[in-house]
Amino acid sequence: MRALVKMRRRWREARMFTKAMASADHPILAQIIPIRRCNLACTYCNEFDKDSPPVPVSEMLRRIDRLGELGTSIITFSGGEPTLHPQLDTLIRRVRDNGAIATIITNGYLLVPERIKRLNAAGLDYLQISIDNVQPDDASKKSLRVLDRKLQWLAEYADFDITINSVLGSAIRKPEDAYQIAARARELGFQSTVGILHDDSGQLSPLSETQSSVYEQILGLGKGLFSFTHHDAFQGNIVRALPNQWHCPAGGRFLYICEDGLVHYCSQRRGYPGIPLEHYTREDLMREGAKPKGCAPFCTISCVHQTAMLDEFRTRPREALAGIIERRKERDASWKPPLPVRSLEWMFLRDSRVRDVFGTIALRLFRVAPPERQVRGSSRYSTE
């Protein structure tokens, strides 16, 4: 049963990818806040409060439907702590009814077997938990020691995919904990990622030598697509405190919807553009997505970078893929691309006729409308 659910999910992901490649006129990812309140109080966090009520379910459903009308591919619930919303299951179901991929970012504290089974039944696709340390400290209680039982329950009961994010940055006292957390995630069969903590404005704090070395060790845990995705230029530049040259597509390909229903660029650029979602149009998407953002060179918000990479792949597939493969090989000469990468390499780097034929087949197979217009949206990654 679990295998079947996963197979269907891979099919929907392939559809999302095809749609993202076909046109730039819809959001790839929207992060939406069902509740600002959190049951923890991490000292580095500026995204929670202690007392606000959940957004009424009728309002949330309207917002999810509006994101569906805009053609949003992935809708992520974050917060605050989204599992504090009493009708989160209903919200997840509505995301799926709109044909989008449903994901949540949680601190995991409220996960018990019964809740995990309810999330399965609602149709959740992905869950991400960020774990900051092994033992709780003053800065954060998102700790492996506290959460390990929850992780075991997830391994046992969850039908959805799970990613454990460990973090490095100035607020994390013991950088070596990140390796232990990533290793535990891999042991339980989860994906693991490592994030670099941003400051209050989403910007970079340079990593120390020890932190960089832990980062390299975590990369070494991955053998397949994991290490491939994590060795993108964006993370590499951030670790070395080098600026990224890229176009941030926030406001277009990525949206952040706050508890008041306003569209913002991201969690760290609230107030821009600050337009109510119900009035946000395709013209707004195209205009705001295309605007240059002065905060881009040292931005650490990885989910926005990931949407930008999809756009890079859409506008310059050959260069994007060749660059990624080249960087990976520079790091490890014996590296052999995993099957999905080999397929992309064959399609995009060997023969443009093959690419065209496969592109047409994919559009038909996934019932994605062919592109009506090609919009500029290139996002190039390099160091200055």
Residues that bind ligand SF4 (CB under 6 A): 38, 40-42, 45, 47-48, 79-81, 107, 142, 202, 248, 250, 265-266, 268-269, 293, 295-296, 299, 301, 304
257 vs 299, which CB is nearer to ligand SF4? 299
8 vs 149, which CB is nearer to ligand SF4? 149
Positive or negative: CA dihedral 276, 279, 281, 283 = negative
168 vs 362, which CB is nearer to ligand SF4? 168
Between CA 71 and CA 69 the distance in angstroms is: 5
The SS3 of residue 177 is helix
- Residue 364 has phi, psi (to 5 degrees) of -70, -45
Residues 6 or more apart from 342 whose CB is under 8 A from it?
Answer: none
Amino acid at 274: G
42 vs 182, which CB is nearer to ligand SF4? 42
Provide the 8-state DSSP code for 29: E
**Shortest gap between Cβ of 41 and ligand SF4 (angstroms)?**
5
**Shortest gap between Cβ of 80 and ligand SF4 (angstroms)?**
6
Tokens of 179: 């390796």
Asked whether the beta carbons of 266 and 201 are under 8 A apart, the reply is: no
Between CA 230 and CA 101 the distance in angstroms is: 22
The SS3 of residue 195 is strand
Tokens of 194: 């490592």
**Shortest gap between Cβ of 73 and ligand SF4 (angstroms)?**
18
Asked whether the beta carbons of 207 and 171 are under 8 A apart, the reply is: no
Angle at 243 between CA 47 and CA 296, to 5 degrees: 45
26 vs 264, which CB is nearer to ligand SF4? 264
Tokens of 102: 């449903």
Look at strands 29-32 and 191-196 and give their pairing: unpaired
**Shortest gap between Cβ of 44 and ligand SF4 (angstroms)?**
7
**Shortest gap between Cβ of 32 and ligand SF4 (angstroms)?**
14
**Shortest gap between Cβ of 223 and ligand SF4 (angstroms)?**
30
79 vs 359, which CB is nearer to ligand SF4? 79
254 vs 348, which CB is nearer to ligand SF4? 254
**Shortest gap between Cβ of 319 and ligand SF4 (angstroms)?**
22
